[in-house]
């Protein structure tokens, strides 16, 4: 006599097996989504393409199409003059194992810096405005200007830069596309020897574009000069401080008035006038 329950048992097993598979896939999907959500904000030191909006706006505007990376890779200027072959592209699209929001463009200067193409091919192809053309346009010529790039800014570590030790090195200075503008060499007397001079690299924050050519060229084992996003590397004194020697900065506040209500102060000390201290003894308040 045949067992008529076997098909029923087989179906029941298949049913529970499918449930187990579905549950497993659901858990796996949940873990992947959790990992993606955890990367919803990229690492704060992520460097974006030229013209990128502020990180929050960039992430909400970028559709991860990869057109900027393609334009970077296929640009005519991306040919190695020695080999005649294309160089590795600067822009990369973030993968799941990288600490950058998945699918968004970024670059690592120590690996491949930005070569500051005059036509900035990556920006015009952006279909959403995540790369802002207006911020890269020179008002005088109404054309794209690579000097308008603000991808980041170079920062020098004086403790590991051998130029600060007295060893003559100008690798970063000579690698800079805006040589003697973005990076200048400051001559200081070497008090230790009394005979030699220091040639210390100094960064002009108003000129440096954050291309990373200097970081790539640095001769130390770990670069002593590196690129950080400007909002991370630079401070902000506040609008209520004025450069008395800077005509443009004085014009900035010319129409703001001088009434007490227009002045922002942070401490009791800052409310006093400079003349108040002339007839006072030394105060450490």
CATH number of residue 162's parent domain? 3.30.70.3270
- Is 50 in the same domain as 145? yes
Q: How many domains does the chain have?
A: 2
**164-205 per-position pLDDT tens digit:** 998 989 999 999 999 999 999 998 887 777 677 889 999 999
Judge whether 237 lies within some domain: no
152 contacts 159 by C-beta, under 8 angstroms = no
Judge whether 285 lies within some domain: no
- Is 125 in the same domain as 211? no
DSSP classification of residue 69: H
Give me the half-sphere count of Cα atoms (radius 13 Å) on the Cβ side of residue 85: 2
Judge whether 68 lies within some domain: yes
- Is 139 in the same domain as 110? yes
Position 200 scores a pLDDT of 95
- Is 144 in the same domain as 131? yes
Q: Give the 3-state secondary structure of residue 86.
A: strand
**75-106 as b/e: b if 16+ CB within 10 A:** beebeeeeeeeeeebbbbbbeeebebbbebbb
184: number of Cβ within 10 Å: 15
- Is 125 in the same domain as 200? no
Question: In terms of pTM, does the model score above 0.75?
Answer: no
Position 82 scores a pLDDT of 79
From the list 125, 128, 151, 126, the residue with the least C-alpha distance to 49 is 151
Residues 6+ apart with CB under 8 A from 133: 51, 123, 124, 144
Domain final residue pick, 149, 184, 217 = 149
Strands 153-156 and 105-106: unpaired
Judge whether 267 lies within some domain: no
Cα(220)–Cα(211) distance, integer angstroms? 19
Position 229 scores a pLDDT of 95
Position 227 scores a pLDDT of 97
From the list 107, 122, 115, the residue with the least C-alpha distance to 68 is 122
Strands 183-189 and 137-138: unpaired
- Is 157 in the same domain as 122? no
Cα(32)–Cα(36) distance, integer angstroms? 6
Judge whether 1 lies within some domain: no
Q: Judging by beta carbons within 10 Å of its beta carbon (0-12, 13-18, 19+), is residue 280 exposed, middle or buried?
A: exposed
Identify the domain containing residue 126 by its residue range: 43-149
Tokens for 255? 């129409």
Position 280 scores a pLDDT of 65
Tokens for 140? 């005088």
Q: What is the pLDDT along the chain (285 residues), one digit of tens a residue?
A: 555 555 665 666 666 566 666 665 665 555 554 555 445 566 889 999 999 999 999 999 999 999 999 999 988 778 777 788 888 899 999 998 888 999 999 999 999 999 999 999 999 999 999 999 999 999 999 999 999 999 999 999 999 999 999 898 999 999 999 999 999 999 888 777 767 788 999 999 999 999 999 999 999 999 999 999 999 999 988 888 888 888 888 888 776 655 555 555 566 666 677 667 666 665 555
Position 242 scores a pLDDT of 87
């Amino acid at each position: 006599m045949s067992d008529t329950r076997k098909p029923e048992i087989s179906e029941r097993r298949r049913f529970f097996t499918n449930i187990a598979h579905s549950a497993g896939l659901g858990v796996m999907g949940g873990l992947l989504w959790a990992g993606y959500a955890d990367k919803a904000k990229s690492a704060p030191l992520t460097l974006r393409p030229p013209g990128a909006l502020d990180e929050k706006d960039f992430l909400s505007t970028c559709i991860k199409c990869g057109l900027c990376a393609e334009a970077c890779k296929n640009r005519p200027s991306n040919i190695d003059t020695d080999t005649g072959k294309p160089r590795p592209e600067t822009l990369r699209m973030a993968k799941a194992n990288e600490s950058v929001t998945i699918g968004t463009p970024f670059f690592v200067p120590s690996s491949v810096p930005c070569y500051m193409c005059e036509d900035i091919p990556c920006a015009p192809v952006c279909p959403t405005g995540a790369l802002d053309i207006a911020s890269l346009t020179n008002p005088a010529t109404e054309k794209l200007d690579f000097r308008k790039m603000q991808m980041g800014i170079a920062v020098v570590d004086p403790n590991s830069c051998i130029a600060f030790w007295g060893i003559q090195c100008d690798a970063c200075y000579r690698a800079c596309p805006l040589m003697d503008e973005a990076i200048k060499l400051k001559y200081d007397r070497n008090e230790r020897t009394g005979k030699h001079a220091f040639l210390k690299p100094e960064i002009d924050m108003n000129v440096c574009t954050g291309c990373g050519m200097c970081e790539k060229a640095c001769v130390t084992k770990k670069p002593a000069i590196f690129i950080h996003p400007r909002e991370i590397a630079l401070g902000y004194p506040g609008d209520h401080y004025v450069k008395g020697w800077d005509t443009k900065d004085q014009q900035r506040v010319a129409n703001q008035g001088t009434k007490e209500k227009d002045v922002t102060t942070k401490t009791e000390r800052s409310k006093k006038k400079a003349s108040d201290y002339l007839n006072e003894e030394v105060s450490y308040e």
